[in-house]
């Protein structure tokens, strides 16, 4: 009925007009590159299910951070692969553990880099669960002191951000109070608030050597069927002192990102996880889709859903592509 008065194509005529009316941008300042740090020297161990991503020793991580900074990525999140694992994840809380060592090296070489530390025990426990066990159960309250100590070790090493990803109840408040008691008021706390129990973490578990040796993570990570519960988790974490809340994974949970965005006026992060990355890479390697184009569309969709911060294995290649 309104044709020919209304012609939406008018604003799509050329790139200048299209960019004039473009509603969403993916800014490099909102991208966070995940990095896997392992013991050793001059080591780069590619992860087969995540083309382009590798475990790296601390010296190589520093070089990687320099390259990231040079192409416009200022945020990295570190995951540690420790030399030793045990039942309680003791190597997660050491001041000279793998992640604090990497943090100090990065902050010495590149003080302006924003260094995030993932806080979770699964890379450090020999059973691969994110908490301490009592029999076959994950003991929530016994896990909290470990997470507090791990976050404190990271903050003392100079981490700008600590990001608990374990999904234990009460961990945000526990970590915040530990940091504050130690005078680390400035350490930012990003909570993986709505973290789902997802098959999309598969490649990460190869990368971080953190697959559970028995059972699964259903008793602590969220049921993929739930949305109201995500809002409750976010509300709790904000009440406990989270500065930024995260939804994870991203692509199958864009509706969750949007609901959180509509409800809460805090910065929202989303984690474009390993399986989401691997799917794009695998299809692109087969020539089944245009990897660069799909990557841009994926990141745009996450930003459009409401996340201003995106943790993604694509960060570096996206930065290179967008800078030409
Ligand atoms: C640790 C953690 C996981 C991821 C981030 N932190 C794995 C898991 O919960 O099993 C997944 C990230 C990814 O798949 O890229 N708890």
At 219-228, the pLDDT tens digits run: 999 999 999 9
Average pLDDT, the chain: 97
pLDDT class of 148 with cuts at 50, 70, 90: very high
Q: Which residue ranges make up each domain of the chain?
A: 26-322
CA distance 74 to 202: 27
313 lines ligand 1 (CB under 6 A): no
Catalytic residues: 195, 248
The residue contributing the CA closest to ligand 1 atom 5 is 165
- In short, whether 311's Cβ falls inside 6 Å of ligand 1 is no
In this prediction, residue 2 has a pLDDT band, given cuts at 50, 70 and 90, of confident
* Whole-number Å distance between alpha carbons of 311 and 165: 13
Residue to mutate, 204, 217, 220, ligand 1, most ligand atoms under 8 Å from C-beta: 204
Name the nearest CA neighbour of 176 among 151, 141, 156, 212.
151
What is the dotted CATH code of the domain comprising 26-322? 3.20.20.70
Span from the CA of 203 to the centroid of ligand 1 (angstroms): 9
What's the alpha-carbon Rg for the chain, to the nearest Å? 20
Average pLDDT for 136-152: 97
DSSP classification of residue 92: G
Residue 213 Cα to ligand 1 middle (Å): 15
Examine the pLDDT at 1 and tell me if it is beyond 90.
no
């Amino acid at each position: 009925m309104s044709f020919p008065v209304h012609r939406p194509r008018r604003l799509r005529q050329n790139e200048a007009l299209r960019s004039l009316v473009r509603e969403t941008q993916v800014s490099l300042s909102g991208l966070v590159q995940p990095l896997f740090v392992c013991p050793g020297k001059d080591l780069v161990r590619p992860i087969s299910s995540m083309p382009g991503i590798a475990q790296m020793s601390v010296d190589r991580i520093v070089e990687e951070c320099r390259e990231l900074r040079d192409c416009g990525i200022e945020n990295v999140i570190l995951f540690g692969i420790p030399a030793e694992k045990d039942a309680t994840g003791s190597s997660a809380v050491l001041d000279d553990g793998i992640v604090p060592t990497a943090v100090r090296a990065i902050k010495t070489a590149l003080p302006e880099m924003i260094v995030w530390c993932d806080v979770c025990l699964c890379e450090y426990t020999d059973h691969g669960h994110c908490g301490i066990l009592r029999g076959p159960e994950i003991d929530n309250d016994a896990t909290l002191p470990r997470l507090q100590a791990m976050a404190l070790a990271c903050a003392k090493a100079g981490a700008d951000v600590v990001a608990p990803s374990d999904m234990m109840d009460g961990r945000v408040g526990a970590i915040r109070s530990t940091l504050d008691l130690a005078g680390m008021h400035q350490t930012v706390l990003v909570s993986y608030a709505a973290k789902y129990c997802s098959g999309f973490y598969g490649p990460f578990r190869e990368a971080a050597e953190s697959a559970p040796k028995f059972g699964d993570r259903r008793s602590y990570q969220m049921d993929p069927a739930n949305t109201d519960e995500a809002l409750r988790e976010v509300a709790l974490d904000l009440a406990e002192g989270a500065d930024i809340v995260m939804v994870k994974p991203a692509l199958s949970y864009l509706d969750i990102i949007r609901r959180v965005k509509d409800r809460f006026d805090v910065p929202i992060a989303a984690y474009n996880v390993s399986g989401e990355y691997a799917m794009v890479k695998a299809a692109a390697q087969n020539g089944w889709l245009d990897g660069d184009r799909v990557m841009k569309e994926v990141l745009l969709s996450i930003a459009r859903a409401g996340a201003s911060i995106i943790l993604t294995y694509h960060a570096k290649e996206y930065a290179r592509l967008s800078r030409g």
